[in-house]
Structure formats: C-alpha cells, structure tokens
Amino acid sequence: MRLTALTASLLAATLTCALPVYAEHHHHSTVHSAATAQHTTLQVNNAWSRELPPSAPVGAAFMTIVNPSDQADRLISAHSSIAKVTELHAHIHENDVMRMVKVDTVDIPAHDQLVLAPGGYHIMLIDLQRPLLAGEHLPLTLEFEHAGTLDITVDIKSSDAGTAADHDDHAHH
Ligand SMILES: [Cu+2]
C-alpha cells in the first residue's frame, strides 16, 4: 500500500475518532429503516474474530464482503454493542513496521469482494464491554454507502484455530 505520505494525517485522525463515531449513532437508525425496504445485494461471508484474554481492551473483526452487483459500494462505518467505539482500520508498512491506521471508508468494487483479514483491513472494536470468548458470537452492524445497514453475526474463534480467510489472498485492489 502506498499510504506512507498520508500516515501523519491518518494518525492524527485516529486520535480524534471517538467523537465522530458517537455522532453517527443517531442517523444509523434512519438508514436502517431505508435499508430494510431496499434489500441489500451485498453478502458477508466468514465473519470472525479471535478470542482474547478477558482484560483485553480491544479486538478486531474480519470477513469477506462480496458485491455481486453492477454498482460499486463502500463500507462507511460499523458498530457493535460489544464495543464502545468501532473503527475501520487498515495496516500500513512504515519503516519496516506494520501499524494500524483509521480509514474513513473502504471501497467494494462492482463484481468484486473486499477481504478484511489480519494484517490488512479490519474492524477495530475499542473498549470492549465483555470478553471475546471462543465459541461465542458478537453482533456487528455494517453501514454501506448504497446498500444501507447490514446486521451480521461474528464468530469468535479460539486463538489456535488458524486464520479463516486463507482463500482470499487477492484482497485489495
Ligand atoms: Cu486496528
């Protein structure tokens, strides 16, 4: 990824992200009622998260979002009752170090898919309200620019179960 020049501003955005996320809670419900009428064409497969020690303050959710339609879409936000703050994150390489940055949106091209996986895009769950335990599930609401909101269930896998997204290596375009 060639995001290096943007790093400073993205990191600055990360530090100030908490308030905008709260601000979006209100128009969420509005978008949701619109989306139930206009059924989404997006499909979310293989949504998973990794179990964490009970004291862990943050977790991450991964998945594959398939867009079989002719219209490109864009993931614009996510939220979950399990986390006080939920952010869209990417990983960037900087001076041989991988670090996470907050991103505003992630594109899902038409007839393509977006893969969220360890080391790449993910949904960051910040200030966890309960532990992520293997075998349990967490609720997640995704908000898309065109498809509206989509409620999904994320499987929490044990940390020694390996990654679940091996078949999706051609993730980002
Ligand atoms: Cu992150």
pLDDT tens digits for range 113-154 = 999 999 999 999 999 999 999 999 999 999 999 999 999 999
Range 47-60 average pLDDT = 96
Cα of 49 vs centre of ligand 1, distance in Å, is: 12
Alpha carbon of 95 to ligand 1 centroid (Å): 18
Q: Residue 41: helix, strand or coil by DSSP?
A: coil
Residue 165 maps to a domain:
no
Cα(14)–Cα(103) distance, rounded to whole angstroms? Answer: 8
- How many A from CA of 170 to the centre of ligand 1? 20
Residue 26 inside a domain? The answer is yes
> How far apart are alpha carbons 115 and 124 in whole angstroms?
15
Q: Is residue 94, in this structure, part of any structural domain at all?
A: yes
**In sequence order, which residues have a C-beta less than 8 Å from that of residue 59 and are 6 or more positions away?**
49, 50, 52, 83, 124, 125, 128, 132
Cα 118 to ligand 1 centre (Å):
9
Residue 124: inside a domain, yes or no?
Answer: yes
| Residue predicted with more confidence, 5 or 91 | 91
Residue 33 falls inside a structural domain: yes
pTM of the model: 0.70
Cα gap 76→66, rounded to integer Å = 15
Question: How remote is the CA of residue 33 from the centroid of ligand 1, in Å?
Answer: 29
Which residue reads 């620019």 in tokens? 145
Spacing, Cα 146 to ligand 1 middle (Å): 24
Residue range(s) defining the domain that contains residue 31: 4-157
How many angstroms separate the alpha carbon of residue 125 from the centre of ligand 1?
8
**Across all residues in the chain, what is the average pLDDT?**
79
9: domain CATH number is 2.60.40.1890
- Find the 78 Cα to ligand 1 centroid distance in Å: 13
User: What is the Cα 32 distance to its own chain's centre?
Assistant: 18
What's the confidence (pLDDT) of residue 40?
59
CA of 100 relative to ligand 1 center, distance in Å? 5
C-alpha angle 61-66-26 in degrees, rounded to nearest 5: 55
State the Cα–Cα distance between residues 85 and 81, nearest whole angstrom: 9
Q: What is the mean pLDDT of residues 33-62?
A: 82
Q: What are phi and psi of 133, to 5 degrees?
A: -105, 135
Please report whether residue 144 resides in a domain. Answer: yes
Ligand 1 midpoint to CA 29 (Å): 25
66-70: average pLDDT:
95
- Pair type for strands 148-157 and 43-50: parallel
What is the whole-number distance in angstroms between the Cα of residue 40 and the centre of ligand 1?
A: 26
Write down the pLDDT at residue 141.
98
Sign of CA dihedral 147, 149, 153, 157: positive
Q: Is residue 88 part of a domain?
A: yes
Mean pLDDT value across residues 55-84: 96
Number of domains in the chain: 1
